[in-house]
Structure 1
């Protein structure tokens, strides 16, 4: 909630500073105050060296100030309320995983007009044996959703691809990853850029968050075409396959993208030699930007790789080998590779294009079968 759905720092910091002052404790630097939203307040106070009766008194004063009206000093981040309602309308199950106690969380969500969006309100609890860490709260959220709350370290699922945690701090990432859940950190919260490096996704604006979640929620059969740099073979394969799927009436029924196993050419357009070959065959290569294998590719049902090195790289990244196949294995060539034309000439690009083309009917047949077997909405 804090730093993700709502900017609650004004109320939190005001009550924090009031509680410190009332108990004779010097306030920390402003930079530290700006990052107190998110972690449990009791832990923040302990990090300042407060112990015993001073800790108890300061925390009690903070709670009194915050629950007495300080929590109202907040504002929702623009666009988040509307996004929550759109997710709810789309049938996405929503739960909180907040370090707030339940009474505070419910009051704030009701104040913002979004309480009815959530199926589960998972919060921290007070007391010596309460839920305090984000990891404990995430486990409770899973349990409340009727899911296995066993952490990865305890033998629980290591890849819960059907769950996402949206947050703004490293504690959110750690809590999610402890249960095999993927995380998205938002830029408008209180975390530093160093914290974002640990998350699966990092988004700078609400529209970007909406797009990431839409891709994650897309349950159409997903094909990802893979080569080394994503500027020659894999974009050629993606562009050609997209046309073949459209011609077969499957263009809207299949999700298709491509990537490289390295970051050598991230952001680059299709290699000019590949683009020229595609243009001669009646394809358009504009609009492509090379991407490295990442979260938007990881859940593909079928990875079409060009060679054994691509397969090895995906397996090393944790992709199930059963979901990886050589592109040419769907054509008459069987388990033969598409050699990289990058260091070759136009003839090598022509050869690669013809080899890719030979496999298209078999891939389209695979896609048609998957679409036919997919459960209807």
Structure 2
């Protein structure tokens, strides 16, 4: 056999082998909390929401299969970073979604920035993610600390709650939420009379609540989340704080938090959210589909945001023809209308902030609720341009000028 014949046969064999080989699927990595305090508000529900988006999109991107994988970052930045790097380098992950805990999200954002991988943030809320730490491959989809502050903080101050005391969780998210809320309170004519920091996953808030109670502030603002918020609310009830005339502001409350503490404790709390399952026919239809996979549990704003972010990422990736360049997909998305059950006529800004309406809601009393998960009354729709930090006030280095 001649060398030329051998070369031809080898080439033909290689082509046949390549044609018969299965291409590795594109993967969406849901990086979430599967074992800690954020499990109910994100966790398995975020995985389910991402899977629903991939299925509804048709399961393929640019002709290749798309799969969802999930990882537990344990609310630790080093664990989250390691998982993200391994996914991108070894498992063909083209986008990372959800990412509870701002310190984890900021660490993961550095990995995705270096690799030009899409980061679709739904749970982490520090406004720094689209501020000084912004990235061209990131979209912060659902909420941020500025929007919560501008919603709840401004509304309560304008209605007469002029003095505020902050009970703040001592890490990136808590610091950002307190700072943004304090600024909104002062802009509305209020004052901050004190604050106290607490570690994450605190079981005893008695000393912190006593300081807040002794301050005489109109509002005790809980600048924390999930398990910490629920524990603080329960213990505030035991101390008779609201019975004594002070208001409690849960600066970040999820539907699952209200469900966890019950309407007896959560009733009449004012909060800001990006989504409520029972707002209209579209939200109810999607939420009922979600609930069928989650034993009747209704979605939080995070779950709805994960679905919307993954679906719109897939649309933009298909339109751009670029599955692996997060920055190019985001640039394509900036030219698209983002319109679904979660947000209408929304847009992705250059700093990575998705601008959409937010909602000021009040928790129903037990008498007003018609059953499980019927918890909110919508008081006001906050237009996106009002809810989120104006672009001309951003310190994102991607903004020209």
TM-score (norm 1): 0.28
Q: Report which of the two has the higher share of strand.
A: 2
Q: Which has the larger radius of gyration?
A: 1
TM-score (norm 2): 0.27
> RCO higher in 1 or 2 (8 Å CA, sep ≥ 6)?
2
